[in-house]
Structure formats: C-alpha cells, structure tokens
C-alpha cells in the first residue's frame, strides 16, 4: 500500500495521452436500460463521468475530444466471476481460505488484451469452482504491468462451493464446509481464551472462569493479527465483512446453499454462481434476493428417465420471466462465439429476453454483483469513465470495439491494435516503441470508502497494454 | 399412539423405547432439528395434477399391511379405500362412496401400501474421499445424507418400483458413518419430503469398514516446530478394533469435546437422545458381536444386513432386536470395492428372513446399499423363495420397516389415519408378470409408467395384450392346454403354452375352463350393403363406401364374427365383387382385409344349361383374353425395356465412337450411293466451347429442314435431353442461322454456323452481343426424331413401345382370378347348373368355391371334388333332400325305346326316386362335406344374422359334424378359400389379433362368449344404450 501511494504521487504529474479530461462527441449514447441519446456527448474528467447529454452539452476547453460520429457509445462490460488470466483456477486443498488470487494473476496474459478488444473494462478475478473454500478474489482492470496497477479492489470476496469438488459428494462437501468453520471457531476460541488470560493479567482482580466463558469474554479482545494467518480471511468472512461468492451448480445445491447461509447468518453477503439446472430453484433464488451469476452454458438439457424425451430450457429466459436479475458470463474464452460476453447477451435477446434485461445483465447487474453498482455499469455522472465506442449496436455480430476508455484514458484503439493487424495481414509487425505507446499512465480516481479500494497508481509511461510479447 | 397396537408390537415398542414415538417426545438436539418439510417444493412438472379432496378407490384385492388382530384385515378381496385429504379415512371390503368423492375403479388390480426400503444410498454415501490430503476419520457421526439427497431429481423410476419411502443410509465404509434420514419420494404437495432427520446412528461391523485409510493432518505451513508427521493409522484394523473403536468413540462423546470436533458433538447428541443404533453385520460372528455391542451401549438397536442370519437365528431372536434383511438380486453380496480388504463375501441365505420371522423377530426386507430401490418387490419374491409367506413378505416391506424407522405413525399400512401411499399392481405383488400400474402418495398420483407409444416402452411390451389360460384352439394344429396368445399393435406376436409376456403387458387371465379361438369368418355377408339388393357389377368398388364399423357391424362382432366376406345379395350376371372386411375398426384402413377377395357369379337355374354354359364360356373367354393381353403386354414391355437399355448403351457407344473419331473428309462414295441427303435434317451432336466457359460442353440437337426453314429442338447449354428447347431458323446456301427459344434478358441466343462439310457445321453461338461461344456440331443420324417435350417422365417414342391394352374395369377382377389369387364364388342351386358350370370353369382352370350348392349331392363326388376348392354351406344347417342314387343308372327292366342320353346326374328313369316323404331325409351338408374331407364354410347370407353363425356351427356339431372341422369351417377354411389366410383365420404369429374367449367348449350351447378382440382391441360386449 505504501509503495502504491508513492507511485501515485510520483505519477500524478505525468501527462496522459488524453489529458485530465476527455469528451466523446457525436455518437449515439446507449444506456443499459435502453435509453438512447442521439449525437450525445460524454464528458469525463479525472476519470469520472461528469456530464452526459445531447449535442448541446458543454465540453471543457481542455478536454480531448474523441469523435464518435456514427458510432455507438456504450458502457464497458464487466466480467463478474472469472478465472481469466489466472494460472490455475484452484489449489489442490479443498479448504484454502488463505489463498489469494493476487498470486495467480498474470498481468501480461493475452486474455486481458482480449478483454479490452471485446469491450470488457472490469474483471473480477476469482478462484474456480473445484473447491470447498477457494480463496480471496480481486477486482481488476484488464490493463497494467503489475497486479497492483491492475487492481481496482483487492481482497474482495471469498469463494465457496456447495457443489462437491472432485472426489467429494454432497454429504462430504457440506461436512467439510461445516468442519472448516468449526475449526475456525476452535482456533478463535483458543485465541480468545489466551487473550482473556492476558487481559486478566492486566487487571487487579482475576476472575477465574471456565474455558467456555473465557472464550466468550475474550472474543471482544481478539484482533485479526492475533489469529493464525491461515484463518484470518475465514474469520473476516464469518463475521460478514467480506462478500461470499457461493457456487451452486444444481438446484439442490442452491437449496442447500441457501439453508447453510441462513444457518451461518451470511445470506446477506452472498452472491450465487449457479449452473443451468438452478432454473428449477428460480423461486428460491428470487426469495433470497441476492445477485445471481449464471454459468456460461445457458441451455439446460434433460432427458426424461421414463420416456427418453429430451427437453431444453433456456435458463436466462426462466430468470427473466421470474423477474430475477441475473448476470451473464462467457462460456470458455474466445474460441467459440459464446466465449464473447456480448454474444451471450445477444442469445438472450434471440430467445425472447427483453433487450434491456440482456444489456443490464452484462453491465449494471454485473456491477451490482461485484458491489460497484454506483461506480460502474452505466454512463452517468459520478460513475467511472469506462466507456466503449462501438461501430454499431453492442449486440450486433458485425460490431467491433473502436476505442475503449478505462477511467477516462484511452485503453484500446482498434486502429493501433497490433495483434489484430498481424492477424489480418499475416505479417509480423514491430513492437511499438516506448514513446509511441498510445496508452499512457492512468491517473486513476479514488474509489469510494473502505480500505484497499483505492485503485493504486498507474504504470510508468510507455507501459500499458496492447504491447504484449 | 402405541396403545392401540397388538401385544407383540407393544413389547417391541417398549424395547425400542422412546425413540420410536413421534418426534415430539425426542430430546432436543443441538444440531439442526428436523422440520417436517425442510425442502422447498421441487418444480417438478411430472407429477399428477391437484389431488382430489376425497378419493374413493375400489380394487379387486387390497393388501392393507395391517397387523394380525387389528380391526382391519391384512388382505381384502375385493376392497375399497376412502381417502380424505391424503389420509386413509376408511378401508373395508365394501364401502359406500360419498357423493362428493372422485371414484377410482381399479378393476381387478391389486393394491398394496407403498413400499418402504429400509436401506438405500439415494443420498450418496460418506465413503472416504478419494485422493484426499485431509483428515478422514473412521468415526464420523456428523455426516447427514439429507444434505445430498436431491429433492429436485425425478424419482419416478424408483416410485415405479413401488417404493414410496426410503431410509437414506450413510454408507458402510466408515466405522461410524453418520446419521441417516427417512424421506418420502413424493408428497401431497408434489416434491419429496423428509419424515425424519438424524434418525439413527450407523455403525458398520462388516468387512467393509476394516482398514480405513490413514489419517493425515499436515500443518500449514510446516516448520521445524510444526513438522509434517507421518500419516497415523486409525482404528479399526481388526474385528476387535471395530468394537474398541466404537466404545472409544462413545466414551469420548460422554466427556468434554473440543469445539471443532463435529463428529464428537454429533455423537454426543445421539448418545444424549438415546438414538437407535443401526448396526450393519452380515456374517454370523458379526451378528453376535452386533447384539453384544448394542446391549453394552444400552441404546435401542436395529441389526442391518443379516445375510447369515439363518445361522444365528436363535441368538438373534433371544436378543429381540429388529432385523433388516438386505436381499439383492444376486444371492451374493455386492463384490468387494476397490481398496477394501480382500475377504470372502458372506453368502446371503434367502431363508434368513423366514427363520427369523418364525422365531418372532421383527424382520424388514431391504435392498443392499448401492442397489436400486426399485428392485424391492423382487427382493420380497426372493424372500418367499426362502420360506416367507406372502402376507409376511408384504408386512416386511411395508408396516415393519415403517415401525423400525420410527415413521409408523405416518406410513406403512393402509389404515385409518395413515398417509394414503399405495401402489396399484397388475397382479399379486410377487409374481414375475405383475408390474406397477400406478403409484399414489398421499392420495396424489405420483407416478405411472409412460404411455405405450413412448420410446422407453416401445418394443418392450407397451401396448401388448396377453390372453392366457384355458385351452387355445389355434384353428390349425392341436389344442394347447394352459396356453396363451400375445397381441401387439393389432397383430398376434406369439401363441403357445407358457407364452412369453413382455414387461408392461396387459394380462387377461381367462381361467382354466375357458377356450380361446380365432375370430370367426362369415363367408357370405351383406353387411355394408344393408337392404340394398341391387346387383352391382364387377366394376363397382365397394371399398369407397366402407367407413368405420357401424352398430350393425359391431353387433356381428360381439357375437364372434370378426371377418366378413361382404358381397351383394345376388350376383350380377357378369359377376360381382367380394370384399373381405373386419366387423370392427374405426377407419377404412383398419377394416379392409382384402379389397377383392373373390368374384361372385350366379348360374341361373337348370334351364338350358348348354346356352348358359356357352354364355359363360364366352364371358370367361373374353375375360381370359383380356387377362392374357395384359400378361402379354407386361412381358412385351419388359422385353422392350431391356432392348431400350441395350440400344441406348449401343447408341451411346456409337456416339462416343463417332465423337472420338477425327473429323474426316466425307467419303464421296457415300454421296454417290445414296441420293444427296438433306444437309440439315437429323440428329446432331453439339459442342459449345470458348467464351467464358472453362471447358467445352456437348449436347445434342434435332433439326428438320423444310424448304429453307429449319426447325427442331436444342439440348446443349440450354435445356437437356429430357427437356430440350425449341429452335427455329433458316438455311441459306451453306449458312445456317438458328434462334433458340429461351428467354434471357440479353435476348434469345442465336447460332450462326457454316456447313463446311457433310454432317458437320461450325460457327458461333451468340448471346446478345456480349458473349460468343464457339459452336460446332456433327450429325449422327439423318432421320429427324420428333422430340415431344414430356415433363420429366419417360419419353414416349414411336420406337415400337408396346401399347397397353384398354382398361376394362368390369374385367379387371378376372385378371386376379386367372392368376390364381382369388376364387370364383359360384351361386347355383341346381345340380345340372353346377355340373356345367364346373365344366366351364375347369376349362379355364379357375378356382371355384360353391355357395349354397343345395343340389350338389346329386353329382358324383369324383366329378367335382378336384375342381371345387370349398363349399359355403347353406345358412340353414339341416336341409331336406331327396335321396338319390348316385352312380350309373341300372339297366332298364325290359326293353324300351332308344335310350335318350340324359345328362349325368339325373337319375336313370328306373332309378328315379319316388318323391315321397319317406325318401326325403334331413341332412347336414356341413357335416357330410367335411366328413368327405372337403373344406366348408358357414354363411349368414344376411346383415346381422351373422349373430347366429357360431350357434349354427354348434348346431352342426350337435348334428354330427366333427367339432374340429366345425372350428376350421369357421376360421381357417374360409380364409384359405378366399386367400386371406395370411391375415386372418387362425391364431398364428403375424396374423390379425382376432381372438374369441369362450367360457367353455365353443360348440356347447351352454358356453358363453366372454371376450371378443378384433385386431387386438377388445369389443365391449354390452351394447351402448
């Protein structure tokens, strides 16, 4: 943290390619709820949107104006639960709350470049599903040479899976989950007892109590540093300080998950990551009232055991009809069409989901799911300047991302996309020189409240993404 | 709730203690309490609709599961149930149905309580985690199979085995594997429901729990003061170790527990509540150890497994613990799992259950862990093999397991106050052929097998009807005692003693006295014609008027006549059609057996037989010529096709040869020999190339020169051989200009060529002024071939294709007669007529069946036996006749005038019978002809008088006809006469499923026709009001 603040200080003076303010002029501003502003203007200052309006919106004199005539201006999309850029999704240990995705992220991964190319501005990197307690996640922007520069929110959420991990069945999975929390309690009680004794030593009158009572009274004096490093994250989670991303692949897992969360009094912190069979539990999910992230497979296939008839259900339609907000994920990454986030939203529209629901599922609701609903997810004054300039409608397959703004900086420009040019022409191009880098240091704005949510400082000029290997 | 039960129950209840009473009296549990319906209702759309508030069920037999000595008998036949709001309100042999109840009449089906499987692994099992680097304890009392039971799954396959309630067990691999739950697989609200959670503590003393994996607890991170220790062995490794491990665990549970010790806490809760122990033990020694352990620990106990229970039955009886005997389909226990110690699996003795029951032990039957609970009924049947009675087995599958599992207050028997969970079976529960028809849970239809047309049951017996019992008279061959007939999709699939029954088949048991016969045939019926006595000629096709069977046809069907040879009342002079129809069936297609089963002809009286014979000869001759013309045409056409094929091959070869030849200068010799041929007329092979075409294209054109005008057809680039384009133009000198009649935007294509040599032209084919192709053609044939554009069919050419003869509908049926496919049914009353007719028919070599033939007896047998294929005897069985001496006329007494030759058959004057009453006798043509070995058939000669056909036949038998011949005369013989024996006439595989069931010998007047099947569909024998 110290390092990042020093870097921030040293780099605030650095000039950016676009300056401290930018404006996008002339494009059709499309909001996730479907409202359009023709020939609109978006003004971004210090990384935040300050004005959104029609052609008469005033633009600051110093602003760099990006012409978007004939283009569509859309908020950057959000991956709310992904293992993109991680080296392996899960550790071998079933209970690993001390694992942090910080160690796994590869900043130079081509997958982050692909995120920018396809219009994704925020990524919630989190452990995979093959676990019991997976570890801590991190919200990052897909640009930066070091994880600190990518980080938007560190140590964000704890990954838990109710669906059994390989080798487990539901009985053993839930037993392990309960045992982890029981072991935590045992450890905390031991620490609390010790703290009580220490507190007692300070006092004049020593009150001798039974160990149980000592543990209860000592709990108030326990701080996080007293605990063994292995248990700190789980303790924070058990107190409800961090969100839980709970993987429930099947309907029965949703049921069990909700029951366990209620028992542990953690339902209010949960975000459900569900599979396709969970459409059968749509009612229970709606009643729980928590965000729901749908796996990349959107179609549930089932064979009737008696007649052999196969039936298919398009799960987002079930959720949309039930009035349950949901978040989409890509399926696999980039090799098939459904590896593209906008394509998943387009499939929803094809199957009858309302357009605004489909668009929200990859923008506003995704931002809500990662707790950044008031800073991301749409283009509105006060929100971060994560804006994509598209060549057409976001759900049209012919549309491409022309430019992508990350907090007001030009993070991606299709005209200078080296990899794309190599693919099209078949020639290898020279790596761009340091000065010619179009993307310069991001002077990121401060994010609201809590510790460790400040986006750390920018990379030195000449770094930036798009310049891969 | 306990006070109402019988003494033995009270004793066991006392033994099992408080744990068997309803949940309310159980001690408070620190771990999750068990709410009645802890699961959200599954969004299962496969369950039946909303159940009625009141359901009244009537069935042929009801197993109530009630204990001996209770007010309700264990077996009711017949029985009735009244279900109100999902609970049994009343059960008795007969009940009054309340007016507001929905009535479900199950016929002769068998109802039994929903089965309860006391051991299942539907909740998975708490086996050791594979490849785990974790502490995996052998004593793990905290596992709860309710966690992994999938309430969203489709449990219908299990329900269709009759199982409605299951105990979810935790597995056999750990010494203490967890605490199980009792779940109903469906409920009144729809989805599964838990009846009890954490209901029993499971202890495994079998071989499977020996040698658990070592326990590993690596510190993270390891350090010098926190080293990674080697994995520690844990109990049990020996049998003694098992007992020691359990005692240690219990002792630990009674002491102080670490706060992280979930297993210890769970065990402590079980000890505090004095929860029943489920001790799994199979071998004799294990069983004894189990009883010893249970006594020592002081908890109520249930012994589970007991494969070798027969060996220690006395000790088990003395211990007085209830036993769950696990019976799988194989009489061995399931094979040893991987990683388990290699021990001999104990051998299941099917008599274990019987031995224990005999000594008064409460025995429940269950499927072994890992087996499908839907096989539970089969487990019951195997227990019967070991000596249990049906009643004991039913109790062991229903009431006893319910009590063992502590849910006897809700399920297990069909007695007032219990949940209305019942299974509808097609027959007695433990018969191989019985299958589950419906499953009700709390009065709601929870499962029934998929429809017969579904993929899962198609080809597996769905839609099959099996009629069995009694004697089967197939119509051919010997009677089969105790046989059966299986019908599927309207066709007979098998007949025989002990016929194979596919699963899901509907079985109709007709009893040992019944007689099963094929459906009867009426050889002369006027069903579709009704009262219309018009003589309709041969070209009239009755089939157009045939529709679904009307009430008259069904009336005939109800009396056993399933197929009728329908014909006009009187034949047309030139003949009429006979149609073979079924007397039941909803569509024309279902009713028609043969659209033309015969030609009916009528020979007028004895007057002028020679003239009549001539007329017939002429008629038949014309018909024969017509028929022969068609046969000849068919042969010629086949030959012509052959030739065409050869010719076209030759022609193609010739053309190819010509095309391959280098362009040669025309031999002047050719020119001098013939007169100068027309330079243009003929068939040309065309080559188009150049221009935008990548390769040259060839085709043909036919041209005809008329003066200087040229016309013809073109088939290259535009059009093809079968669909050429017209072309027209002119010839001036050596230049030929043609225009092709094709509509394209840039204008019609034109050809400009020069006849530079004989039979050759070269030039250009132009499309507007934009494209020009090189064009050349070679003449291959100098005759102009008129190409008539026929739409995509065979070209008709004048090349000697044989012309078909004119179609004459009134003679068409005779083609089949002369082909030997159908007979001529001759109606003739007089012997003279018959004689002459037969002579004519013999000349033409046609098959003849005689209809009526009252005077046939006056002809010598030898004259007609070889020609007549069968006789349809008159509808009046017993007819008078004049006794005639058949044979040579005796010499006249004394001389008299020249003897006039008389046609044979008329008695010689000296032997002419005296027409006196004394010489008239009554005779039975059916009996006599069949005795002579001639096939006969019965007729009704009416519309619905066919009702009496069977009785007629019985009367014939009474009057002396051989009953076997009588049955043949009703079935296979008429079928053979009219060549429909491949479809009807006997009970043989492949034929129509027309089956009759009589209560006794069909030719006894006292027998009643009980069932009629036409094409596998049963005909209701009561007429609709």
B923-970 pLDDT, tens digit each = 888 888 999 989 999 999 888 888 888 888 988 898 889 999 999 999
The predicted pLDDT at position A46 comes to: 92
DSSP structure class, residue B911: G
**Partner A contacted by B220 (CB < 8 A):** yes
The predicted pLDDT at position B670 comes to: 39
CA pair distance A310, A160, nearest whole angstrom: 32
**Which position has the token pair 């790596």?**
A431
Task: Provide the H-helix boundaries in B661-781.
Answer: 668-673
The predicted pLDDT at position B6 comes to: 44
CA pair distance A313, B293, nearest whole angstrom: 53
CA proximity to B274, closest of B536, B27, B579: B27
Tokens of B857: 């007896």
List the end-to-end C-alpha distance of chain A, in Å, as a whole number. Answer: 29
Cβ–Cβ of B125/A182 closer than 8 Å?
Answer: no
The predicted pLDDT at position A378 comes to: 95
**Partner A contacted by B749 (CB < 8 A):** no
For the purposes of burial, counting CB atoms within 10 Å of the CB of B537, is it exposed (0-12), middle (13-18) or buried (19 or more)?
middle
Chain A residue with CA closest to B147: the answer is A171
CA dist list (Å): A205 to A192, A199, A202, B885, B1002: 19, 11, 9, 146, 111
Phi first, then psi: give them for residue B622, nearest 5 degrees. Answer: -60, -45
**Partner A contacted by B258 (CB < 8 A):** yes
Sequence-ordered list of residues with C-beta below 8 angstroms from that of B947, at least 6 positions apart, any chain: B555, B556, B558, B559, B561
CA pair distance A432, A440, nearest whole angstrom: 13
CA pair distance A237, A231, nearest whole angstrom: 10
Phi first, then psi: give them for residue B806, nearest 5 degrees. Answer: -65, 145
Chain A residue with CA closest to B133: the answer is A93
**Partner A contacted by B911 (CB < 8 A):** no
**Partner A contacted by B45 (CB < 8 A):** no
CA pair distance B284, B70, nearest whole angstrom: 35
Window 135-194 of B: residues touching A by CB (8 A cutoff) are 140, 142-145, 147-154, 156-157, 160, 170, 178
**DSSP secondary structure string for all residues of A236-282:** HHHTT-S-EEEEE-SHHHHHHHHHHHHHTT-GGGEEEEE-GGGGGGH
CA pair distance A87, A103, nearest whole angstrom: 9
Point out the residue among B124, B142, B144 whose CB comes nearest to the CB of A169: B124
The predicted pLDDT at position B920 comes to: 63
ipTM higher than the 0.90 cut: no
Cβ–Cβ of B148/A308 closer than 8 Å?
Answer: no
Cβ–Cβ of A304/B123 closer than 8 Å?
Answer: no
The predicted pLDDT at position B9 comes to: 44
pLDDT in tens, B276-306: 999 999 888 999 999 999 999 999 999 999 8
**Partner B contacted by A228 (CB < 8 A):** no
Segments in chain A below pLDDT 50: 1-16, 434-469
Share of chain B above pLDDT 70, in %: 84
CA pair distance A378, A359, nearest whole angstrom: 10
A307: chain B residues, CB-CB within 8 Å = 450-451, 454-456
- Which of B37, B39, B40, B171 best probes binding to A when mutated, by most A CB atoms within 10 angstroms? B40
The predicted pLDDT at position B130 comes to: 62
Segments in chain B below pLDDT 50: 1-47, 334-342, 452-461, 665-676, 788-797, 885-918
Torsion sign across C-alpha atoms B647, B653, B659, B665: negative
Point out the residue among A174, A259, A305 whose CB comes nearest to the CB of B157: A305
CA dist list (Å): A72 to A24, A343, A357, B75: 10, 17, 19, 79
**Which position has the token pair 């897992």?**
A253
Strands (DSSP E) found in B312-382 = 323-326, 363-366
Measured in angstroms, the CA of A167 and the nearest CA of chain B are apart by 5
DSSP structure class, residue B904: T
Measured in angstroms, the CA of A184 and the nearest CA of chain B are apart by 8
Cβ–Cβ of B124/A170 closer than 8 Å?
Answer: yes
Interior/surface letters B443-467, b for 16+ CB within 10 angstroms, e for the rest: bbbbbbbbebebebbeeebbbbbbb
Phi first, then psi: give them for residue B243, nearest 5 degrees. Answer: -65, -40
Cβ–Cβ of A171/B130 closer than 8 Å?
Answer: no
Q: Are A82 and A105 in contact (CB under 8 A)?
A: no
Measured in angstroms, the CA of A353 and the nearest CA of chain B are apart by 21
Is the omega angle on the peptide bond into residue B221 within 30 degrees of 0, that is, cis?
A: yes
């Amino acid at each position: 943290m110290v390092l990042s603040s020093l870097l921030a200080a040293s780099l605030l003076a650095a000039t950016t390619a676009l300056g401290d303010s930018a404006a996008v002029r002339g494009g059709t501003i499309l909001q996730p709820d479907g409202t359009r502003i023709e020939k609109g203007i978006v003004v971004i200052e210090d990384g935040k949107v300050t004005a959104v309006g029609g052609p008469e919106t005033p633009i600051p004199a110093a602003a760099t104006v990006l012409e978007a005539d004939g283009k569509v201006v859309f908020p950057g999309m959000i991956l709310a639960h992904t293992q993109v850029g991680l080296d392996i999704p899960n550790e071998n240990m079933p209970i690993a709350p001390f694992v942090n995705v910080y160690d796994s992220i590869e900043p130079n991964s081509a997958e982050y470049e692909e995120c920018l190319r396809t219009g994704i501005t925020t990524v919630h990197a989190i452990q995979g599903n093959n676990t019991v307690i997976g570890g801590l996640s991190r919200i990052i922007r897909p640009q930066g040479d070091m994880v600190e520069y990518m980080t938007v929110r560190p140590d964000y959420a704890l990954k838990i899976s109710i669906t059994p991990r390989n080798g487990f069945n539901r009985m053993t999975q839930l037993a392990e989950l309960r045992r982890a929390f029981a072991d935590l309690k045992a450890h905390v009680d031991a620490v609390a007892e010790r703290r009580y004794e220490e507190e007692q030593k300070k006092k004049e009158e020593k009150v001798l109590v039974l160990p149980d009572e000592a543990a209860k009274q000592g709990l108030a004096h326990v701080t996080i540093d007293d605990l063994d490093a292995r248990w700190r994250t789980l303790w924070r989670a058990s107190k409800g300080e961090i969100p839980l991303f709970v993987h429930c692949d099947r309907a029965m897992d949703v049921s069990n998950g909700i029951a366990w969360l209620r028992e542990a009094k953690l339902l209010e912190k949960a975000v459900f990551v569900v599979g396709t069979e969970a459409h059968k539990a749509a009612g229970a999910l709606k009643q729980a009232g928590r965000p729901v992230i749908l796996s990349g497979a959107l179609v549930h296939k089932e064979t009737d055991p008696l007649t052999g008839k196969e039936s298919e259900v398009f799960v987002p339609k079930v959720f949309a009809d039930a009035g349950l907000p949901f978040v989409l994920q890509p399926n696999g990454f980039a090799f098939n069409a459904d590896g593209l986030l906008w394509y998943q939203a387009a499939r929803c529209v094809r199957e009858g989901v309302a357009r605004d629901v489909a668009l929200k599922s990859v923008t506003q609701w995704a931002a809500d799911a990662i707790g950044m609903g008031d800073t991301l997810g749409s283009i509105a004054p006060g929100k971060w300047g994560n804006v994509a300039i598209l060549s057409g409608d976001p759900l049209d397959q012919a549309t491409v991302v022309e430019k992508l703004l990350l907090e007001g900086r030009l993070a991606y420009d299709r005209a200078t996309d080296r990899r794309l040019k190599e693919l099209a022409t078949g020639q290898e191009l020279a790596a761009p020189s340091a000065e010619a880098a179009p993307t310069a240091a991001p002077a990121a704005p401060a994010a609201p409240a809590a510790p460790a949510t400040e986006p750390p400082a920018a990379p030195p000029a000449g770094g930036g993404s798009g310049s891969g290997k | 709730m306990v006070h109402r039960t019988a003494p033995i129950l009270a004793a066991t209840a006392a033994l099992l203690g408080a744990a068997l009473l309803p949940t309310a009296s159980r001690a408070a549990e620190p771990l999750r309490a068990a709410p009645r319906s802890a699961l959200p209702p599954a969004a299962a759309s496969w369950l039946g609709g909303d159940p009625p508030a009141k359901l009244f069920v009537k069935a042929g037999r009801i197993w109530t599961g009630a204990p001996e000595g209770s007010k309700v008998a264990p077996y009711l036949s017949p029985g009735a149930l009244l279900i109100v709001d999902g609970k049994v309100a009343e059960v008795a042999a007969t009940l009054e149905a309340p007016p507001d109840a929905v009535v479900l009449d199950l016929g002769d089906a068998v109802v039994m309580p929903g089965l309860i499987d006391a051991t299942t692994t539907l909740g998975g099992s708490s086996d050791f985690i594979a490849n785990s680097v974790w502490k995996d304890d052998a004593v793990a009392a905290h596992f709860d199979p309710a966690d992994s039971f999938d309430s969203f799954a489709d449990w219908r396959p299990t329900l269709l085995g009759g199982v409605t309630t299951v105990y979810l067990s935790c597995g056999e691999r750990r010494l203490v594997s967890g605490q199980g739950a009792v779940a109903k697989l469906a409920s009144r609200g729809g989805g599964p429901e838990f009846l009890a959670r954490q209901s029993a503590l499971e202890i495994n003393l079998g071989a499977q729990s020996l040698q658990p994996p070592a326990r590993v607890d690596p510190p993270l991170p390891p350090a010098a003061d926190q080293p990674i220790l080697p994995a520690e062995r844990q109990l049990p490794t020996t049998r003694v170790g098992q007992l020691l491990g359990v005692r240690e665990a219990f002792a630990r549970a009674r002491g102080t527990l670490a706060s992280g010790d979930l297993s210890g806490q769970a065990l402590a809760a079980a000890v505090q509540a004095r929860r029943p122990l489920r001790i799994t033990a199979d071998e004799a020694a294990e069983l004894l150890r189990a009883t010893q352990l249970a006594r020592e620990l002081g908890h109520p106990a249930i012994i589970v497994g007991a494969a070798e229970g027969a060996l220690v039955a006395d000790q088990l009886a003395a211990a007085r613990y209830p036993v769950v005997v696990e019976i799988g389909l194989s009489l061995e226990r399931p094979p040893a799992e991987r990683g388990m110690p290699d021990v001999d699996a104990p051998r299941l003795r099917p008599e274990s259950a019987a031995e224990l029951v005999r000594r008064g032990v409460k025995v429940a039957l269950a499927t072994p862990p890992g087996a499908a609970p839907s096989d539970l009924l089969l487990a019951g049947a195997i227990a019967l093999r070991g000596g249990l009675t049906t009643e004991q087995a039913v109790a062991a599958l229903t009431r006893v397991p319910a009590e063992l599992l502590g849910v006897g207050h809700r399920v297990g028997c069909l007695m007032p106050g219990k949940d209305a969970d019942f299974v509808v079976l097609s027959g007695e529960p433990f018969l191989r052929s019985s299958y589950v028809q419906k499953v009700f849970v709390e009065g709601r239809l929870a499962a029934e097998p998929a429809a017969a047309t579904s993929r899962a049951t198609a080809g597996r017996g769905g839609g099959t009807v099996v009629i069995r019992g009694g004697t089967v008279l197939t119509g051919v061959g010997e009677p089969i005692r105790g046989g059966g007939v299986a019908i599927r999709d309207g066709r007979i699939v098998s007949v025989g003693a002990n016929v194979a029954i596919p699963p899901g088949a509907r079985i109709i048991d007709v009893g040992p006295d019944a007689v099963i016969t094929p459906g009867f045939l009426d050889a002369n019926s006027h069903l579709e014609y009704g009262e219309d006595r018009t003589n309709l000629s041969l070209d009239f096709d009755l089939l157009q008027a045939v529709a679904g069977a009307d009430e008259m046809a069904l009336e005939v069907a109800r009396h056993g006549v399933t197929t009728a040879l329908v014909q006009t009342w009187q034949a047309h002079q030139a003949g009429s059609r006979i149609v073979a129809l079924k007397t039941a069936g909803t569509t024309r297609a279902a009713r028609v057996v043969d659209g033309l089963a015969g030609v009916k002809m009528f020979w007028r009286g004895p007057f002028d037989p020679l003239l009549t014979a001539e007329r017939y000869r002429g008629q038949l001759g014309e018909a024969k010529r017509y028929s022969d013309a068609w046969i000849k045409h068919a042969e010629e056409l086949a030959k012509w096709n052959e030739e065409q094929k050869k010719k076209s091959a030759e022609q193609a070869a010739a053309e190819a040869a010509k095309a391959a030849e280098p362009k040669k200068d025309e031999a002047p010799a050719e020119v001098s020999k013939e007169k100068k041929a027309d330079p243009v007329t003929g068939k040309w092979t065309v080559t188009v190339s150049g221009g935008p075409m990548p390769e040259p294209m060839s085709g043909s054109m036919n041209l005809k020169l008329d003066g200087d005008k040229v016309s013809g057809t073109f088939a290259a680039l535009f059009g093809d051989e079968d669909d050429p384009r017209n072309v027209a133009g002119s010839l001036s000198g050596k230049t030929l200009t043609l225009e092709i009649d094709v509509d394209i935007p840039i204008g019609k294509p034109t050809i400009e060529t020069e006849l530079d040599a004989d039979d050759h032209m070269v030039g250009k084919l132009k499309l507007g002024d934009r494209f020009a192709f090189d064009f050349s053609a070679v003449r291959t044939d100098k005759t102009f071939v008129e190409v008539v554009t026929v739409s995509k069919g065979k070209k008709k050419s004048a090349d000697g294709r044989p012309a078909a003869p004119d179609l004459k509908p009134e003679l068409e049926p005779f083609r089949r007669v002369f082909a030997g496919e159908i007979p001529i049914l001759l109606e003739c009353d007089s012997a003279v007529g018959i004689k002459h007719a037969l002579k004519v028919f013999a000349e033409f070599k046609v098959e003849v069946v005689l209809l009526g033939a009252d005077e046939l007896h006056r002809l010598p047998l030898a004259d007609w036996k070889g020609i007549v294929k069968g006789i349809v005897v008159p509808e009046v069985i017993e007819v008078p006749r004049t006794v005639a001496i058949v044979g040579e006329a005796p010499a006249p007494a004394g001389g008299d005038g020249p003897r006039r030759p008389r046609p044979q058959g008329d008695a010689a004057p000296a032997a002419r019978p005296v027409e006196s009453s004394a010489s008239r006798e009554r005779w039975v043509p059916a009996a006599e002809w069949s005795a002579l070995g001639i096939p006969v058939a019965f007729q009704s000669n009416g519309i619905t008088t066919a009702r009496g056909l069977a009785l007629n036949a019985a009367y014939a038998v009474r009057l002396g006809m051989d009953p076997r011949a009588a049955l043949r005369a009703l079935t296979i013989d008429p079928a053979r006469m009219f060549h429909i024996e491949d479809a009807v006439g006997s009970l043989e595989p492949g034929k129509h499923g027309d089956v009759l069931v009589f209560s006794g010998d069909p030719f006894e007047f006292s027998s009643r026709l009980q069932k009629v099947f036409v094409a596998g569909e049963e005909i209701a024998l009561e007429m609709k009001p």
